Amino acid sequence: MQRCPPPLIVSIDGVRVECDDLHRWLTVQGRRLALRSQAYLFVRALVAQAKACEAGQAGDRLVSHEALCQETSAPSRHALHALASEVSQELGTLPILVINEYGQGYSMRGIVS
């Protein structure tokens, strides 16, 4: 029997974010959002980078365009940008933002009110 990995949990600027690979759910501050496969992989890459940064294993939260294209199978930067826009819309009123670090890649920030 194959075991499912535990959820990826991180605090991004004080906002609790959890990725559940089994169900492809993103949970932000207790609010669950089901994402389609490619969108989930995009978000998960950003959350994993934030976790590595929090643990001191990465210098910043930035995930390069190249790494995100590989992770999500986006065929081009244009397709990646469209995916990032879709993800931003799906996140809607959740207190996290996808940030386009122009020319470099994407990162995620929390919104604390």
Residues 6+ positions from 100 with CB-CB distance below 8 Å:
81, 84, 106
First to last CA, the chain: 44
The total of structural domains in the chain comes to: 1
**In a domain? residue 14:** yes
Tens of pLDDT, residues 50-68? 999 988 888 889 999 999 9
Q: Which domain holds residue 36?
A: 8-110
**CATH code of 90's domain:** 1.10.10.10
**In a domain? residue 98:** yes
Per-residue confidence (pLDDT) for residue 93, from 0 to 100: 86
Per-residue confidence (pLDDT) for residue 1, from 0 to 100: 54
Ranges in the chain, pLDDT < 50: none
**In a domain? residue 13:** yes
Closest CA to 108 of 1, 5, 14: 14
Give the Cα separation of 66 and 90 in Å (integer). Answer: 23
**In a domain? residue 1:** no
**In a domain? residue 3:** no
